[in-house]
Amino acid sequence: MANNEVFSVEQIRAQFPLLQPSESKQPALVYLDNAATTQKPQAVIDVLVDYYTGYNSNVHRGAHRLADQATNAFEGARSTMASFINAPQKEEVIWTRGTTEGINIIANGIVKWLKPGDEVLVTELEHHANLIPWQQACEKSGATLKIAPINELGEIDLDKFQALLSPQTVMVAFSHVSNALGTVNPIVKLTKMAKAVGAWVLVDGAQGIAHQPVDVQDIGCDFYVFSGHKMFGPTGIGVLWGKSSLLLDWPVWQTGGEMISHVTYQTAEWNTLPYKFEAGTPNIAGAIGVAAAAKWLMDIDYEARHQYEAELLKYATSEILKIPGVNVIGQAKQKAGVLSFTLDQVHSSDIGFMLDQQGVAIRSGHHCAEPLMERLGLSGTARASFSLYNTREDVDCFIDALSKAKAMLC
């Protein structure tokens, strides 16, 4: 779909095999669990099949044609991802298994510099993946973990965030978009505030990467991490972007093959960027696949896509509020396609089960944000999350299924 074409959800949806009607999908699937993982377009599936059937090989060291072809595709994928997030150098793009591993690489390494009296600041919105690694880093180093609160709308309280920053703040980590509430954080403003006290900044982009344009130079952060499977790419692949000035001295995460330049029985020297962080055989197909997903996304006009997703979320929110007993959780002024809700006197898992029986796929539980749920006084929520291939018809099916579930459960 060229950039100058009008956004067409029908054309987009037609590119996703799993979403097409079939005899095996009875009733028809309404997929609203996109914050957990997105479906894959044919363009991504095709490059995976092409790799495994056409030039399957390991990379970098083979002395044959297949190895050259695989290496060129693998490193070409790195260049594509650098362009996708406007990284200054492709060597700053580190392949990981996903957002979680990317954060762990940085949190594990920061222990080299953390000491008692230092502080790490995160927010109440964070996924476990952007909380527990910092807990562990502080426990190992004696540093203090601080938590920036949110307001009643589910937004970071900027005044309190500012008040928690100090010259002792070494690292500040926050999500681009909350997976549990859909809140879009003002990441440029937050980064500037953190940089004013000399802190490093890591942005968890797992939810933002599929909904927001990402320019790491414009954001001004030091690290940006995300997963392929939430942006229409394969599972098991992700990207850690970091400033080369920091990554050059950052401690290695894993050791083994590929990440070394010279080894004796007594010593080892690390390879150059990006390879010092990529021990072992990488997820070659995953890298090629996520690059295909990035190219696919870049061919869709962002403003048209953003407007469509915003209108879909607005419609879904207005419709769900017509159901008595429904409470929408998280009403930030800026939200991505997440609709988190509760239904009076009904457990979220029961909602998920009843909707699944009607062919509607949502998520229920604490969404790997248990401390946030405790902060909100909830055991969990039901969560419908939308993507650019969802339609108003999907929303109508969801609302109808929820209404029927309420009638049966209440």
Collapsed DSSP state (helix, strand, coil) of residue 339: strand
Within 8 A by CB and 6+ apart from 404, the residues are: 354, 358
CA dist., res. 272 & res. 121, Å (int): 30
Over residues 354-367, the pLDDT tens digits come to 999 999 999 999 99
Percent of residues, the chain, with pLDDT higher than 90: 94
Q: Is 133 left (phi over 0), alpha (psi -120 to 50) or beta?
A: alpha
pTM: 0.96
Q: Where are the alpha helices (DSSP H) in 131-242?
A: 132-141, 158-164, 187-195, 216-219
Clarify whether residues 292 and 313 are in a common domain.
no
Clarify whether residues 311 and 374 are in a common domain.
yes
* Tokens standing for residue 174: 């926050």
Clarify whether residues 305 and 276 are in a common domain.
no
Clarify whether residues 217 and 71 are in a common domain.
yes
Q: Kindly state whether residue 41 falls inside one of the protein's structural domains.
A: no
| Rounded to 5°, angle at Cα 384 from 123 and 101 | 45
At 7, the pLDDT band (50, 70, 90 cuts) reads confident
| CATH code: domain of residue 311 | 3.90.1150.10
Domain count for the chain, please give it. Answer: 2
Q: Which of 269, 298, 327 represents a domain boundary (last residue)?
A: 298
Over residues 33-86, the pLDDT tens digits come to 999 999 999 999 999 999 999 999 999 988 999 999 999 999 999 999 999 999
| CATH code: domain of residue 154 | 3.40.640.10
Phi, psi at 276, each rounded to 5°: -65, -20
Active site residues: 368
Q: 13: domain range?
A: 9-31+301-409
